[in-house]
Amino acid sequence: MTAPTDLTLADAARDVAARKISPIELTRAALDRIAALEPAYNAFITVTAETAMAEAKRAESAIAAGRYRGPMHGIPYALKDLFDVAGLPTTCHSNLRADHRAAADAFVVTKLREAGAVLIGKTALHEFATGGPTMDLPWPPARNPWDRAAHPGGSSSGAATAVALGMAFGALGSDTGGSVRNPATCCGIVGLKPTYGLVSRTGAFPLSFSLDHVGPLPRTVEDNAILLQAVAGHDPTDPTSARRDIGDLRGGIGRDIKGLRIGVIEHFFREDAEAEAEQVAAFEQALATLRDLGAELRLVKLPPLKAWSDCGRTLLQAEAFAIHEKDLQERPQDYAPITLGKILAGAFIAASDYIKAQQWRAALAQAFTQAMQGLDAVVTLSSFTVPCRVDDVAAVARTYERHCRMPFNLTGTPAIAVPTGFSAGGLPLGMQIATRAFEEPMLYRIAHAFCAATGLTERRPPILQSIDT
């Protein structure tokens, strides 16, 4: 018999709707899994056990009374701890926010409450969604679910770890330069950076106003679409929120991809940089799978990866410094050194350089638009490296320079990270699929067909039989 925590979000939702399992059972199972594994993996900052059980009981009563709200009703989920939940701290994994309490819910939290979802807790991240794994903070860094010694990716690290281990059926993270897709790749789950403006950022502590995206982190492609459907939509309080009909984001799931035209961006990791052999080999096998499924593949050339990385770094650092300037002046000692160094770099970016970067960004986005002509999607690597040791500071720092996720933050177009296999050491490998703005259903169609053919999202990390913290 399948344990409740081994169910996908979609399967759990179907079982809840059919009254085969109750929200109370799901929530108890998730809390039991957290109690058993959290000491080893540090996925959570706050576990909301009492309120989660209360929400689960309300969901069960509503469903019993015939008031079923949809596939998130009664489903336990987690939040990266930069989203506000009324009455709870929003720590951003930082000393500066240790005493903070949110006055109101973030927009996405309100949407999930309306959907009847059950908040199980708030998860670890890199301080203020930057920095990196460090012991210089009140909460230890999250660990990789496939190997506790390995880096789980950042900055939405705890969210990905919690989902991969069955502590939650899905989670929300934020992605400024890859912070949903990086942990998804490192932890072997499915992470989407949606189109800029599709999901409101109201109530999410910002890192970079023009690059931040809110994205779902569940185990499977269908789960991802369910969670995105629940949180997407126009928010009049967010000036960047898109006014458009969302439609059925799951509409393409289950359709074949025969005849779809998919561009392959290889120069990012063959010419502009050199990816590790295991990542490249898994990507090549993924391309073979897409061909076997009937997709037509062709090489695509974009501006060099360095152009995207330099442009994105300039915007991110300048905007992050503007957000943190007051605290940097008054409380610099309360930042972890790794975070302080990254954010302070923005103090040395001239206004003229920032304006030029915005102009540069427009040109890069136009290049992507032109490259997409005649294509349904593009594919490329996510990370260039296999997850390194989480305690190897230099190696972790290098991983944040060895990826090609920033291009899609600059374009604001959707990109999804899916598993492509495992390294010889048993660590996940992955790729990205990207397309035009607001074409998430196309991404889900391709990603679902690929994952169904490979079965990679069905694999689960080994569960520790004993915990030595």
What are the backbone angles phi and psi of residue 191, rounded to the nearest 5°?
-120, 130
Which of 22, 80, 157, 208 does the annotation list as catalytic? Answer: 80
Q: Is 111 among the residues known to form the active site? A: no
Measured torsion, CA atoms of residues 412, 321, 86, 218, in degrees rounded to the nearest 10: 40
155: annotated active-site residue:
yes
In the numeric block, the tokens 């003229």 are attached to 352
DSSP β-ladder status, 171-175 and 213-216: antiparallel
Contact by Cβ (8 Å): 340, 134: no
Examine the residue annotation and report whether 80 is marked as an active-site residue of this protein: yes
Q: Alpha-carbon distance 240 to 244, whole Å? A: 12
Is residue 16 a contact partner of residue 73, using CB atoms and an 8 Å limit?
yes
Active-site residue (options: 22, 111, 122, 155): 155
Tokens of 374: 């005649």
Q: What is the dihedral of CA 308, 310, 311, 315, to 10 degrees?
A: 130
Tokens 């090489």, residue located: 299
Residue of 94, 174, 179, 382 with catalytic role? 179
Structure tokens at 233: 């939509």
Q: Residues 77, 171: contact at Cβ < 8 Å?
A: yes
Active site residues: 80, 155, 179
